[in-house]
Amino acid sequence: MKTIKTIAILLIALMISGCTLATLPEDHDPDINDPKANVVGVWVKLRRLQTFELPNSGSLTFVTYQKEIINGVPSSQSQTSGVFYDTNMHIHAQDELSSFTFTSTIPLRANLNDIITFYALIEDENGKISLGDILGSYHVSDDSLTKVSYSFTNESVIDGITMKEELKFNFNFSYHWPIERTRIIEMNENYSVIQTSDLSQTDEFRLHANTRYFIIEQTTLDDSGQSNTSITSYIASQSDNDPPIEFQSFDVATNGEVRIRVVKIQK
């Protein structure tokens, strides 16, 4: 039998542009302090009409599951989905205290003018996961939201052993304009251009056999029509056995949704 009590919830929000309440979804659980409910994760609602689903490619969620005690130590696993990047999970375990710190960056469309809402995910004594309280809701319009942090402390009794668990979240934000063009320019050892190719519609690219250096040129377009070009330079690998070089970009859809796309480049 597993009895869990939520001890505290702490919210810290730094440098936010504003705060606006959002409409609760139908499966929202208003009783996050239910003594039989345990905070196990966070769901990030990026669009007003988005609905909650457990981890899948279109849902921005982090969930940690505590399974059982093995040799006196709690055995847990976590699952993330969505467009988190630059992600780090730090775990610190002691005899009666486990600390999980999840740090990640969420990419957003620049000048988004939308509402981002953070929900707690809770797990009841039967293992069912549902939405808990709204932790924070922010109107993002001028790219000034840079960091949001949440911390939960839970106490549980499993097989007669009392354990305390800290679950911490650090979310950073990056902002991106729609991409107008991405191209790769290949050069030989004398820096003479061999060929120029479009990278906009591919996830894999094979370099010319004589390529020694290459640059990737990406142009974005802001809402005023002003373009901005960034250039990244690389040294081409000289062996087919070397792992591909990965170029990461942020594709912005017409509805403002941002997707991370990685192009693998090799000979």
Among 39-48, 112-121, 206-215, the range scoring the smallest mean pLDDT is 39-48
Asked if the model's pLDDT at residue 29 lies above 50, the reply is: no
49 — pLDDT class (breaks 50, 70, 90)? low
Return the percentage of the chain with pLDDT > 70, whole number. Answer: 74
Rounded CA Rg of the chain: 23
Q: In the predicted model, what is the mean pLDDT of residues 145-167?
A: 81
Asked if the model's pLDDT at residue 183 lies above 90, the reply is: yes
126 — pLDDT class (breaks 50, 70, 90)? confident
Predicted pLDDT at 207: 95
Of the candidates 132, 38, 31, 29, the one whose C-alpha atom is nearest the C-alpha of residue 76 is 38
How deeply is 95 buried, as exposed, middle or buried, from its count of CB atoms within 10 A (0-12, 13-18, 19+)? exposed
Q: Residues with Cβ < 8 Å from 237, sequence gap 6 or more?
A: 243, 245, 266, 267
12 — pLDDT class (breaks 50, 70, 90)? very low
Predicted pLDDT at 158: 67
Predicted pLDDT at 202: 92
Predicted pLDDT at 24: 38
Q: Residues with Cβ < 8 Å from 45, sequence gap 6 or more?
A: 22, 52, 60, 116, 117, 118, 119
Q: In the predicted model, what is the mean pLDDT of residues 131-150?
A: 88
3-state SS of 3-24 is EEEEEEEEEEEECCCCCCCCCC
Of the candidates 193, 149, 165, the one whose C-alpha atom is nearest the C-alpha of residue 10 is 149
Contact 45, 23 (CB under 8 A): no
> What are the C-alpha distances in Å from 121 to residues 90, 115, 177?
20, 19, 31
221 or 80, which is more confident:
221
Asked if the model's pLDDT at residue 34 lies above 50, the reply is: no
E-strand spans in the chain? 3-14, 38-45, 60-70, 73-81, 85-93, 97-109, 114-123, 129-140, 147-158, 161-176, 179-187, 193-198, 204-206, 213-221, 227-235, 245-252, 258-266
130 — pLDDT class (breaks 50, 70, 90)? confident
| Mean pLDDT, the chain, integer | 78
What is the spatial distance between Cα 246 and Cα 195, in angstroms, rounded to a whole number? 19
What is the spatial distance between Cα 188 and Cα 186, in angstroms, rounded to a whole number? 7
Counted residue by residue, the chain has a size of: 267
pTM (global) more than 0.85: no
71 — pLDDT class (breaks 50, 70, 90)? low
25 — pLDDT class (breaks 50, 70, 90)? very low
Contact 213, 187 (CB under 8 A): yes
